[in-house]
Amino acid sequence: MKYYCSIFFVALLLSACGQPQGEQASVPARSAQEAPAETADEFVARINEELTELRRETGAAGWVRSTYITEDTALLRSRARERYAAWHSDAVKQAMQYDNQVLTPETQRAIDLLKLGTSLPSPSAPDKRRELTQIATDMRGIYGAGKYCRSGGDCLGGAELETLMQTSRDYDELLDAWQGWRTIAPPMRDMYARYVELANEGARELGYADLGAMWRAKYDMSPDAFRAETTRLWEQVKPLYDALHCHVRAKLGEFYGEDKVPQDQPIPAHLLGNMWAQTWDTLYDIMEPYPAAADFDVDATLSRKNYSPQEMVRSAENFYVSLGMHRLPDTFWERSMFTKPADREVICHASAWGLDGGNDLRIKMCINQTYDELKVIYHELGHNYYQSAYKNQPALFRGSAHPGFHEAIGDTVTLSMTPGYLAEVGLINSAENSREADINRQMQMALRGIAVLPWAKLVDEWRWKVFSGEVTPDSYNQAWWDLREEYQGVTPPVGRSEADFDPGAKYHIPANVSYTRYFLARILQFQLQRSLCEIAGHEGELQACSLYGSKEAGERFWALLEEGESQPWQDTLEDFAGTREMDATAIIDYFAPLMDYLREQNAARVCGWQG
């Protein structure tokens, strides 16, 4: 299954999955020399007004670039990025005049967020700023238009190759597709090295050691403390991942032969049902614990009832409405992209858009008639409802409590797609269940939601090392695979060298989208779900809870969303759940039935892998 990143337009982010609100353009901030004598409060009010206007143009430029990939839209996109970079650089310089003043907490937070308000800080020199924005646009264009032409002459784009990786069980065909997609990335290698140099220069001008330190400062704690926090959370969930890895490797060894899948080594990366081995749920046919247990085949229902893409989106909307939230505006249905156009290149990567300050909500997807895609839709609408909830905040506070929250909202909602819910809304015929069926379902979920955890952590671990200089351009690929083996226990199926640039074959690298948010989202979704189920009065196992129809849970959920980025995430979490810490124990609670099963299955196996 594809793992989607979503554009949620966190305030001022330049490239959150590619089209954030924050790529501002058009209206220039006054220079520090020309600025009138204004108080810090007046400065923040002016900046908020400018941002409200600037986002309209940059949002439109981002949308058109993603839905019409041409040289013209590349130019428009690049110029919008460039204008925002100039605006942001000048606005930050103006903000520095208030550094030694005692400010109200709200004004201080707004200024702090302004300084952190780009994931791609540009150098102040105009020529370097233009160079950086052009590289950013070019790398995204290379990725979006990437194709692999096989020996027979047929050329496959990223979406087609991803589908092949999900459905094929032929070792050699998978290997060919895996290698083929990675041929798009080497042209980005030198571009990326220069990109890092320029972005680091921009980060240092803002007072950060490098771009990675700046990204980590986004989480209302020091960069070092945040890095330690992600390690703490990973250690909480690692035992469950290790047990899953051991079981999956054993099953793949049975399927392909232990000569191809050695039982004491990392798993060959092309055999895990995903182009990047980040999620493994398409291997469920091999991993199914109890084949005779009830099979909840939502795909069959979607096919039999011939659900259109719009009907699939309407199903997700109905869930949010059941919680007491509003219906999506008419413009959502008029302006969203639900299917891949036949006449042009687009970026099919699923994303949610909150244009015009959250008044113009859209999604961009190339929807297929599958349960996997239906879950992605439920997830993407979580972004849209979040964007709508905080749209009344000042512009600088229109974002999620921290970046992981934005991804967690839709992820939390997908946990309510239980057999009971699916039966109630007609997506399966019966909600009859058994412990075997529960374990089957948990296996499906773990192959996606637990398998992704180390991947979601290591992508930024690699970038943090690159940004800091610990990993240099002459060791990009080796460092990438060292981390993949350490965290994921996977290995490339063929030799790789520094002539390759395998990180660039993943969207989020050329698009400059931080990945830690997905790691934190996986943690938070279960933590939020546990709290919401308590509010809804659910009794019994956490994995059986659906929030569908609970106005009480919906009211508390909406209150969390409305806060946006107006206060530290610790305060928002405490208001919602009574704790100031992220906590992965809810994952362990949720997957307790599966963990018991994995312990039994792995009892006689040698788990782990040698480096």
**Which tokens in the block code for residue 524?**
């938070």
Identify the CA nearest to 14 among candidates 407, 503, 511, 393.
511
User: Do 185 and 504 touch, CB atoms closer than 8 A?
Assistant: yes
Query: Does residue 383 have an active-site annotation?
Result: yes
Residue type present at position 264: D
Catalytic residue (choose from 371, 378, 518, 548): 518
**Torsion-angle region of 503 (φ positive above 0: left; ψ -120 to 50: alpha; else: beta):** alpha
Catalytic residue (choose from 245, 379, 402, 406): 379
Identify the CA nearest to 58 among candidates 123, 110, 126, 11.
11
**Which tokens in the block code for residue 63?**
């949308």
Neighbours of 591 (CB within 10 A): 26
Catalytic residue (choose from 95, 177, 350, 437): 350
Query: Does residue 349 have an active-site annotation?
Result: yes
From the number of C-beta atoms within 10 Å of its C-beta (0-12, 13-18, 19+), residue 202 rates as buried
Cα-based distances in Å from 159 to 162, 365, 495, 548: 5, 11, 25, 32
Query: Does residue 508 have an active-site annotation?
Result: yes
Helices (H), 398-515: 403-414, 419-424, 435-449, 452-468, 476-483
The residue whose two tokens read 């390690």 is 231
Catalytic residue (choose from 201, 317, 373, 380): 380
From the number of C-beta atoms within 10 Å of its C-beta (0-12, 13-18, 19+), residue 271 rates as buried
Going by their DSSP bridges, the two strands 147-149 and 490-491 should be labelled as unpaired
**Which tokens in the block code for residue 519?**
């790691």
CA atoms within 13 A on the CB side of 125: 7
Catalytic residue (choose from 383, 402, 406, 538): 383
CA–CA separation, 56 vs 487, rounded Å?
41
**Which tokens in the block code for residue 339?**
């299917």
Query: Does residue 538 have an active-site annotation?
Result: no
From the number of C-beta atoms within 10 Å of its C-beta (0-12, 13-18, 19+), residue 552 rates as middle
Catalytic residue (choose from 245, 270, 349, 538): 349
Name the packing angle between helices 71-95 and 189-205 (round to 10°).
20
Q: What DSSP letter does each residue of 204-255 carry, written as one string?
A: HHTT-SSHHHHHHGGGSS-HHHHHHHHHHHHHHHHHHHHHHHHHHHHHHHHH
Catalytic residue (choose from 407, 461, 485, 563): 407
State whether residue 517 is helix, strand or coil: helix
Query: Does residue 379 have an active-site annotation?
Result: yes
Looking at the DSSP bridge assignments, the partners of residue 267 are 490
Furthest-apart CA pair in the chain: how many Å?
75
Residue type present at position 96: M
The helix (run of H) or strand (run of E) holding residue 154 is: none
CA–CA separation, 62 vs 54, rounded Å?
13
CA atoms within 13 A on the CB side of 28: 9
Beta strands in 276-350 (DSSP E): none
CA–CA separation, 162 vs 182, rounded Å?
12
Does the CA dihedral 536-542-548-554 come out positive or negative? Answer: positive
Cα-based distances in Å from 253 to 126, 181, 305: 56, 25, 38
Which of the residues are catalytic?
349-350, 379-380, 383, 407, 508, 518
